[in-house]
């Protein structure tokens, strides 16, 4: 999740910028408009942040991981709708025509590096 969060943050929060150099593939169909699904995500990150805060406070645990979890927990309410709004490609779409879309993107990238 952190890698995806970094992509989100580094894209200046614009889906076109994020998708310009990244192929995001949906591996499972989640309804991010569902209050149940959203509650599960919010609860998961809230609980994980609380566990790590306790570990860091009480046991001086890994100081690097806690800020990452804290950043995701803080931005998850903006991050999930962002993911819901962008048009993620499915495995079926990308694998069509022997992955030609990905192959073409790689070829263009090597031909015209930015």
- Residue ranges of the domains in the chain? 2-111
User: Is residue 92 a contact partner of residue 26, using CB atoms and an 8 Å limit?
Assistant: no
Higher pLDDT, 31 or 109: 31
3-state class (DSSP) for residue 26: strand
3-state class (DSSP) for residue 87: coil
DSSP state of 58: H
The share of the chain scoring above pLDDT 90, in percent, equals 26
- In the predicted model, is pLDDT for residue 90 greater than 70? no
- In the predicted model, is pLDDT for residue 114 greater than 70? no
Tokens at 113, concatenated? 């590096």
Average pLDDT, the chain: 82
- Beta-carbon contacts of residue 79 (< 8 Å; ≥ 6 apart): 5, 8, 72
- In the predicted model, is pLDDT for residue 36 greater than 90? yes
- Determine the average pLDDT of the residues in 31-39: 90
């Amino acid at each position: 999740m952190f890698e995806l969060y970094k992509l989100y943050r580094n894209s200046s929060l614009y889906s076109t910028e994020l998708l310009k150099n990244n192929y995001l593939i949906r591996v499972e169909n989640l309804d991010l408009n569902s209050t149940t699904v959203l509650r599960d995500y919010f609860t998961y990150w809230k609980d994980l942040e609380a566990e790590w805060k306790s570990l860091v406070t009480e046991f001086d645990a890994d100081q690097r991981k806690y800020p990452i979890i804290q950043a995701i927990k803080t931005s998850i309410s903006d991050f999930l709708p962002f993911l819901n709004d962008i048009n993620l490609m499915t495995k079926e779409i990308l694998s069509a025509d022997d992955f030609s879309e990905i192959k073409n993107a790689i070829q263009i990238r090597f031909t015209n590096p930015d």
